[in-house]
Amino acid sequence: MPGGTVSEDRRGTSSSTFRAAHPAPHDRKNIALHKQNVADAYADVRWRAPELVAAFLDHPAPFFDPLTTVRVPSWSRGRVVLLGDAAAATALLGDGSSMAMAGAYALAEELAAHPGDHVRAFAAYESRLRREVGPRQRRVGLLSRFMVPRTRPGLAVRNATGRAVARTNRAASREAAHANR
């Protein structure tokens, strides 16, 4: 479906991703709102979507989480500094833990390089990490538009790419298995 996906794995676990035409209201604790957002997004979708949406709506505590990119003007205030996803979430790429560890290491180095001057240390840490985070955040937008295209041609490109990657992975797995004999 343009603007969303519905899938189910071999174990029967289903998932969906959709791009709202306008940012949907979100309240992490408002399960009724989550259910309404999903029902609205898949109202006109066929295949097994009605059945899967019904299961989502019937579940007492379904999982719903918006894709979020955190952008804040400053990563510190006073003696408090943000690290990892709190400073600059780049969800979808799965690198939040890695960025948090890299950020902690960079912060420690900057604090050591500027003893007694947390303001300079925080500014140096932020400057250093923003050079890494900026491109990652831009890639999130590109990747989300690729993974959940809004048009049928976009779907065709995504699906063809997925099939090509799957074929490449299967071939590489066969080669690795053959090499290990």
The pLDDT value given to residue 91: 62
Are residues 95 and 62 part of one domain?
Answer: no
Are residues 83 and 58 part of one domain?
Answer: no
Are residues 41 and 21 part of one domain?
Answer: yes
The pLDDT value given to residue 121: 97
Per-residue pLDDT of the chain (181 residues; tens, 9 = 90+): 556 666 667 777 766 676 666 666 677 788 888 888 888 888 887 777 788 888 888 988 887 777 667 788 999 999 999 988 888 776 665 677 888 898 999 999 999 999 999 999 999 999 999 898 888 777 777 777 777 777 778 878 888 887 888 888 777 777 777 777 6
Say what the pTM is: 0.61
CA distance 42 to 45: 5
Q: Is residue 154 part of a domain?
A: no
Q: Residues in the chain, how many?
A: 181
Backbone φ and ψ of 13, nearest 5°: -80, 125
- Residue numbers of the domain that contains 108: 76-144
Q: Is residue 178 part of a domain?
A: no
In Å, how far are 3, 31, 72, 144, 149 from 137, measured between CA atoms? 20, 28, 12, 11, 18
Q: Is residue 150 part of a domain?
A: no
The pLDDT value given to residue 90: 67
Structure tokens at 127: 């400057």
The pLDDT value given to residue 61: 84
